[in-house]
């Protein structure tokens, strides 16, 4: 078994696609029209880091409850983890692209780590090296 997708609630599709593909370098795997359960239009948007098996389903917020969850999917904790083969180059590229880092790089027993915010305000760890 494996986890295929994790839903990430965003305000709008296109700015989220631009962030994940243009800034983070993810691949746009799918962007297809779809419908909500009650027949309203939506999109099925999947982004995935190059070579990764697990991707993100970018889900546009629908209603007050989902809108309130944008940027708060992990209630202020780091909820997402992005591992980079070349931490320093990835970190510099992200800084140059305007990504907000809320914790500067530090070295831990498991490698280098820095905390950044995605387009919605969710906290992510940028991690170095191979998975533990």
pLDDT in tens, 80-102: 999 999 999 999 999 999 999 99
Q: Which pTM does this prediction carry?
A: 0.91
Q: Which fold has domain 1-70?
A: 2,3-Dihydroxybiphenyl 1,2-Dioxygenase; domain 1 (3.10.180)
Q: Yes or no: is domain 76-132 CATH 3.10.180.10?
A: yes
Query: What is the band of 132 on the pLDDT scale with cuts at 50, 70, 90?
Result: low
Query: What is the band of 35 on the pLDDT scale with cuts at 50, 70, 90?
Result: confident
Higher pLDDT, 18 or 132: 18
What residue ranges do the domains of the chain occupy? 1-70, 76-132
Please give the Cα distance from 43 to 58 (Å, whole number).
Answer: 9
Q: Which residues pair with 6 in a beta bridge?
A: 56
> Averaged over 95-120, what is the pLDDT?
96
Residue 130 has pLDDT above 70, yes or no: no
Q: For 40-51, how does the pLDDT look when each residue is reduced to its tens digit (9 = 90+)?
A: 889 999 999 999
pLDDT at site 131: 64
């Amino acid at each position: 078994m494996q986890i295929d997708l994790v839903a990430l609630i965003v305000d709008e599709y296109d700015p989220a696609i631009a962030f994940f593909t243009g800034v983070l370098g993810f691949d746009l795997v799918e962007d297809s029209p779809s419908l909500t359960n009650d027949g309203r239009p939506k999109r099925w948007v999947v982004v995935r880091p190059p070579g990764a098996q697990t991707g993100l389903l970018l889900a546009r917020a629908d209603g007050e409850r989902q809108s309130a969850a944008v940027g708060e999917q992990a209630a202020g904790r780091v909820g997402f983890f992005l591992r980079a083969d070349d931490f320093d180059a990835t970190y510099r590229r992200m800084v140059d692209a305007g990504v907000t880092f809320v914790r500067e790089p530090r070295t831990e027993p498991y490698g280098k780590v820095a905390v950044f915010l995605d387009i919605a305000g969710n906290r992510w760890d940028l991690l170095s090296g191979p998975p533990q």
